[in-house]
Structure 1
């Protein structure tokens, strides 16, 4: 996969590839409609297209990210409809067979409105975007639809699972990977310790992929 990454667009890394691998091991329905939330470069949207998705939509609040997703779709032979905006804007107008999400989840003092940090900073508990996403995912899925979300253990996967189950979805952690802190996490490790989000001296985190399925009533 060839990917262009304009300045300020989130670089695909361990979380991207762990979610991509989880998607490869899941039975993606032939011709499925797929929504890639917080798409960044569109790496996951491209992966879905290469796995047989029939229609792929990518959405991101960043204009550069939306443009990058469209360009990377073209580069890799995957038609991608790229939208600049919030995933919540699609509620009430469209539903999808599959929703993929690698949202901002790094704990931070605030949620930035602009700049490259909005691709990862997500408030004090790292859940500012995650909580909104969990609330709208049931409204974005078709019957028998599936969602996959990746985030760090620091954001409390049990909260995500319980929110999704509370919306009548079948939800569980399906993949895990422990990785060393990257530059952003290392730079705020002392603050994370003081906030009680990591243990003293901890310089690693566990990534988790959570799958949620629409269940029959």
Structure 2
């Protein structure tokens, strides 16, 4: 299970800066300890669902919600599978696994919280491809990941799916134990410079338009 660190804190800052209207429905993908989901409740969300593939994380989030006395619903499984078809949200939060890993096999144990394939995009790309349908018109995605796995790639995939996308938060942080443990791999694959011991974290915001592109023009044509 992933212990909240700099990326979680940065995403919480972005959540508050976004000033999401209170009373909305929120989905927290990869909820872990439930820190982001609880922050969303504190920010005024009416209904928050956290989803995680780790049973230990699910129970930890439930315990933390009970201790904080907040109404958090936590579900076990892959969020892209367990969220009911047709269910959509005003805000989706995600701190997904994004650390490049030497193995392309599915991560096991604690590594599921960070390992994400050779380029770090094993879970980012499927999430980007599905996020449009998880948001209501006017809904917002806030997602954090390392610049090592490609900021432009995330922005482009979100835009390809019809979202407006931009970087809203950036922060350089020192490598933690996981990154230190694979410096050789990262250097060998050109993901970091020789001697680099910091990475840049980014929070990307994606906005689903209120209406499909072109609707405004059609309305204006009809008015004439």
Question: 1:92 corresponds to which residue?
Answer: 85
Q: 1:178 aligns with which of 163, 172, 190?
A: 172
Count how many residue pairs are aligned between Structure 1 and Structure 2.
Answer: 209
How far 1:91 moved relative to its partner? 5.7
- Which structure 1 residue ranges, 5 or more long, are not aligned? 1-8
Judge conservation of contact 2:102–2:185 (CA < 8 Å) in 1: no
Deviation at 1:96, TM superposition (A): 0.6
Equivalent residue, structure 1, for 2:62? 70
The residue aligned with 2:139 is 145
Deviations 1:73-106 (CA, angstroms, capped at 9, x unpaired): 1111211110000011126241111000000000
Output the aligned Cα RMSD. Answer: 1.0
Structure 2 unaligned residues grouped into runs of 5+:
213-224
Question: 2 CA distance for matches of 1:77 and 1:49?
Answer: 11
CA distance in 2, matches of 1:44, 1:52: 13
Asked whether 1:192 is paired with 2:186, we answer yes
**Superimposed CA distance per residue, residues 167-199 of structure 1 (whole angstroms, 9 cap, x where no aligned partner):** 110000000000000011011101100011111
1:12 CA displacement: 0.3
| TM-score computed with the length of structure 2 as normaliser | 0.91
Would you say 1:118 and 2:112 are equivalent positions? yes
Aligned equivalent of 1:130: 124
Residues 46-70 of structure 1, C-alpha deviations (whole Å, 9 max, x = no match): 0000000000000000011111111
1:50 paired residue number: 42
Q: Is residue 104 from structure 1 mapped to residue 97 from structure 2 by the alignment?
A: yes
| TM-score (normalizing by structure 1) | 0.94
* Deviation, structure 1 residue 114: 2.5
4+ residue segments displaced more than 4 Å:
none
**What do the CA deviations read for 1:124-153 (whole angstroms, capped 9, x no partner)?**
000001011101111111111000010000
- Residue 112 of structure 1 and its aligned partner are, at CA, apart by 3.3
Say which is worse superposed, 81-90 or 53-62, in terms of deviation: 81-90
Q: How far 1:208 moved relative to its partner?
A: 0.2
